[in-house]
Structures are given as C-alpha cells and as structure tokens.
Structure 1
Amino acid sequence: MPAPDTYDAVIVGGGHNGLVAAAYLARAGQSVLVLERLGTTGGAAVSTRPFDGIDARLSRYSYLVSLLPQKIVRDLGLDFAVRKRTVSSYTPTVRGGRATGLLVGGDTTRESFAALTGGEREYAAWQRFYGMTQQVAERVFPTLTEPLPSRDALRDRIGDPDAWRMLFEEPIGVAVEENFADDLVRGVVLTDALIGTFADAHDPSLLQNRCFLYHVIGGGTGDWDVPVGGMGALTDALAQAARAAGAEIRVRHEATRVETDGTRAEVTVRSPDGEHRVAARRVLVNASPQALAALLGDEPPAPAEGAQLKVNMLLRRLPRLRDRSVDPRQAFAGTFHIAEGYGQLADAYRDAASGRLPTAPPSEIYCHSLTDPSILGPDLAARGYQTLT
C-alpha cells in the first residue's frame, strides 16, 4: 500500500470556520487540505436557488452577519460586503382590542414605544439597557480574535459590576424583569437569549445568557447585517481566499476516521474514487461534537435539545398588516416577531419541556430582498417580488 499524501494540516469540513482556518494556515506557508463531504463548500452558510426555474438566491440556513470580525475580512482580502437593516424588529400585538405593535429602528422607535406602552419609561429603560450592552460589546468583541482571557481578566476589561452581574452571573431573566415592565418589550429583549437555545429566561445553566451575549456583542455594536448576494457570497469569498493562498479543497470527500499517535495523524477519506488515506501534522475538525466523536471512535456526547424549522418563500407581494400605521416594508425589513411576548416564550418552553408542541410556537419572519434586492433576478425585482423566510 502506498504511503498516504502528507499535509501540514487537514481540515475536516468546509464550512465558514474551516475555510477561514484554511486561508490563514495557507497564507502562513502551511500545506493545507480541506475535506468537504458535500458537493460545495460553505456548510450552513450557503445560498441556493430553491425554486426551479426562478432566479431567486436565498440564504438556506444562516442568514445574517454579526460575528465576523473585520480583521478577518481585511487579513484575507475578502471581496464581500454587508448592508445595514433600516429596522431591527417589529412585533405585532393587540392592546385594548386594537392591532398595534412595537417597531424598533429608525426615527420612530421612541414614538412606537410611547404608543404601545403609554409613556416614556420603557423607552428610557431600553436606551439604558442597550447602552450598557453596547459598552460590553465594545470590550468583549475584540477578544474573539485574541487569546482567551480568564474570567477575572474579562470582568476587569468590562469594568462594570452591574453589567457583569446581569449578563455573566445571573440568569438573563432577572435583568429583563428588573429593567422592563411591559410583557411585549420583555419578550423582544429575551428573544436574543433564546434563538436556537432550549432554555427559559431563568435557566440556572446560563445557557440563555451565552446566547444573548453572542447576539449583542457582534462587531462591537450588536448589529446584525444582511450579506450582499446572500450568505453564500461570504463563503464563496472565503473559499476563493483559501485557494488563492494555496489551500487544496476537495468536495465530495468525506472524512470517516481520524487516527493519531500524538505526533502525526491519518485521516481515512471516502470519495467518488474510493477510499484512501491522507496524513497530517495536525487535523482541524469543523463539525459538530457528535461528528468529531464518530471520527475518533469515541462515545458521542448527548446532542443539544431543541429544534428549529425554517421555510423559505418567494412572494408576489408582502403580507398586509392589521396595524395599518406600519408599512409592511418597514415591518418585514427587520425581524418580525410572532408569539414572542415574555409570557408566551415561557409558555412555549414549558410545553416543549413537557414533550408537547407549543400551542403558539415562537416564530420570526424576515425579508432580505428589501435590504438586498440583488438576490432577486431583474425580472422578479421589477415585478415587485420579495423573499420571505
């Protein structure tokens, strides 16, 4: 049997993290091989045309950009851009038998708070709370591309004992209830702690706090931006940067086994040409903990609880709103919340924790073609079509 090909680094999985690693290692003069099981790179950050014969490119899974440091964009010379959303979110509700809602973003935010809550208190609390999270973001986000700080070092870096307590030591539900009184406003804050996380506001594990921090620290501002051309434009740029630096990328090549003696590793690879091995000084795995365990022949950890369902649509027009004071082009430009009041989120968690489908599943809708029309072909855009997810 011939000796396997040898590389400085073999990267299992061609998602965005694997491609970033490949580009940096190749630029440092390392020989790099990326193994991707699917027919294209990008992992969960890809764009597709899901409707046959229709020129609409939708981000299939991941859909907004916030945790991508500009340092990586500059270092790798990525040809990639994002656009700011004009609206952060809209949350409809009914008060006193009247359809209304909360619109966050733009010049009407204060007015929307006042119309919903009947005063200035909640808006002032919102300004204080998110002023605090932005200061935390400015201090924490740069650490994502630095050696991991100790707990004490990060606390000193933040320099705000109240912020540290609310975000790092106590369940986020305590802070939400301390700062806000309105159920709908509380729910809008809490959604950032629960997206993709099976927990409630007061979970002692603080899993929801971790999720909240990821949502509010991005870019040092907490902004979530729309990728121009869809999410696949980012991972295509990353793959191009990796290849330009000398990395070798093989799609439809599935790593099935990793064996190591502590100084050298061998990776068994299944491809259309059969099974073969490659050797490496180091192996990086851009996959789930369960996939890593399977590669090493270890007992897999229990999978995380919870589930999400995503539906991509193409519409001839945006839905009309019961709240006629809000233009649908505003409401759907950001994140449109459904059944995400504070009490509704708690009820949904209790249902799911008891093994039942929630009576009112928390849901979110967004329309990226309002911010980035380039994902639609010229004919669709001219006829007023919009994407909705």
Structure 2
Amino acid sequence: MTRKSSASPLIFGGDVQSPRAALPVLPPLALYIHIPWCVRKCPYCDFNSHTASPVLPEEEYVDALLADLDQDLHAVYGRELSSIFFGGGTPSLFSADSLGRLLRGVEQRIPFASDIEITLEANPGTFEQDKFVAYRKLGINRLSIGIQSFQQEKLEALGRIHNGDEAVRAAGMARQAGFDNFNLDLMHGLPNQSLDDALADLRTAIALKPTHLSWYQLTLEPNTVFWNQPPTLPEDDTLWDIQEAGQALLAEHGYAQYEVSAYALPGRPARHNLNYWSFGDFIGIGAGAHGKLSHPDGRIVRTWKTRLPKDYLNPAKSFQAGEKALGNDEMPFEFLMNALRLTEGVESRLYPERTGMPLESLAEGRREAEQSGLLQVEPSRLVATERGQLFLNDLLQKFLT
C-alpha cells in the first residue's frame, strides 16, 4: 500500500501575507529522529513516550522513518545535515543493525557534513557494552545518558529502572566504547531533596568527567502522574540554594553555563541544541516529532507528525499531523524564546538573517525589556541580563504583539 501523503492544510499565523525579505543564506540543517518506546514510563515525563512491548517493531519503524523523511526532502534539496539527534523514549532500545540501516538510508537522501554530530539518548538500564561499541562504529559520536540521580531513594521516587552503580558504570562503558563526547542528564529539586543531596549528585557526575552536563530542575507537567499525584518537593529557599551552589560547583570544575540548563567543557556545547536555540532548521521524523524549515522566499514553516506509534505505523494514515507557517507578528517571540535561553544570547544580525524581518521590528519590545532590566543594553547582541534569565517568561512577554 502506498503511504498516504499529508492532507493537513497549511495553517497561516497572524499577518503571514505581509512582505518578508527573502533569506540570503539558509540556516544550518539538523535532523531529529524520535524513537517513542521506553522500558517504563516515568511519572514526571511529559514526552511522547510509550511502554515498550517485549518485541519492538524495529524493521517496520525504520521503514516508516525513511518514508517519512522522503516526504520532507523537497524542502531541503541541496542542503547537508550538520547534526542528528536520536531522542525518545529510549532510542538505545533499538539494535545497532536497525540504527545502522536508518543512518545509511538518511545519508543516501541527505549528505552529511564532514564534522557531523550524531547524538543518541540512552538510559543506564539499557547499556550493553557490545551494543554501544557497535553504535560508535556506525558513526554515532555522542551519547546523552539519562542519569537523573545517583541516589537510590531519589531514583525510586522518579520511577527510574536503574540504580546508582549502573549509572556510574554506564559512563565508564561509554568511554570504553569509544565515546569521548557524552552528556549526563541530571535533575535537581527532587522529592525531599536537600542541598547536600543535590550537590552529592553533581559531584558524582563531575567525577565521571562528561564533556557536557544537562542539569535542570524537576517540574510538574500536565498529563503526568506527578501532576495528578504531586510528590513533596523542596521549598523555594532550598531550590534557590541548590541552584546557586550547583552553578558555582560546575564553574569551579570548568563547566561553563551556555544555556538555562546546559553546561559544557570548553568547545563541547551540543551543536544540535545550539542550532535549535539559534533558530536553525531541523527536520523532525518519527511519532510526534516536530520540525522547523526555512525557505528561500522567507517562509518559515513548523511541522508536527502523527503522535501515536500505532497511527504512525499505519499505512492508511499520514505521517504529518499538521503544519503552520509563522506570521510576521509571531516572529519576534518565536526567535527570542530560543535565542534568549543562551547565556550569551546571539548577535543582533542573526534576527534578520534567520527571520527575514528587519531588526527594527524588535525595537519597541527591546526598549521595554532594557528599561525593565531584563535585556542587556548591547546594540550588537540580543542577550538577557541575569535577571532576564531568571524571569525569561516576563522578558518574552515584551515581544508579544
């Protein structure tokens, strides 16, 4: 059966028909691949993840991913991929054979940059030395390991399937498998967590010498178990102490904060995420994946794919669930909600280059944000103040029309 193409109408936002300058240079292009299965759904997780059956439909899903990519190729002809990110779910549940066939299929369709960054998300409970050696041989050159905590009580509260010893071993196994570039995902503000607990987790992570740390506060998201059955979280004063002491500890060990929750050794920020935060382009394939693509005529279109795996694998259904062209009135917020997460912001010239909109269209919001002490007075850059980083939502409100 021939796969049904997208029948979703293009949704236009705001005054999208107003003139917008053509983009002289298209931004870097990345690919996000969503693998939606996990061993078990965590109670805090609001990602599109689903409990895996004993046998995953790996072959069928890879076929679907490549067919999904085929339907997006018309929008990226002549461009190359600067990064690929396998997210989930737990992508490391898939075999090296399946991921290898997928990567070969992607490269046949879109050329890879010579220095392409290819990241795979993995959980300690899915680490197998032989499998990860095979992943490295495929050209996957970066891992992101979901640790969250090293303390058994906290891991149990978070519904994680690994223990602290497995988390420590996973980092060692990653390095033994040939990964000299890897991230550790760590949470703070966990149920009943003290300052000492949080710093102990950070010290354990730092001792493993990752090149990158994602260190972020647990938040209660709608449509999760924790939202409906909230755990006891630390008081605000404790959360603030954890944030301050943790940032100081990371800086002491050479991890520079370059985004709200991202810290890296020199030269090791995640290129895939930097592209995302600087309003680069990305194709999204897989169940529930989102994408954003720029066109030379100035159109910028966001897409989203069918969310449920059973629908994504159904040949009678479209891969694409919808798409929306960004309107001129939406562009300031769309650009800045990513760029201002970066601690150093972005060069001001990037706004007209990436949006086709004149820099003057930000003037009123910029003036209000500077007067409120949320945006630095720096004509050549768009960068939040320290206060603006703490109150990012308030800062972004200045650019809503």
Q: TM-score, normalised by structure 1?
A: 0.27
Larger radius of gyration: 1
Q: TM-score, normalised by structure 2?
A: 0.27
Q: Which has the higher contact order (CA 8 A, sep 6+)?
A: 1
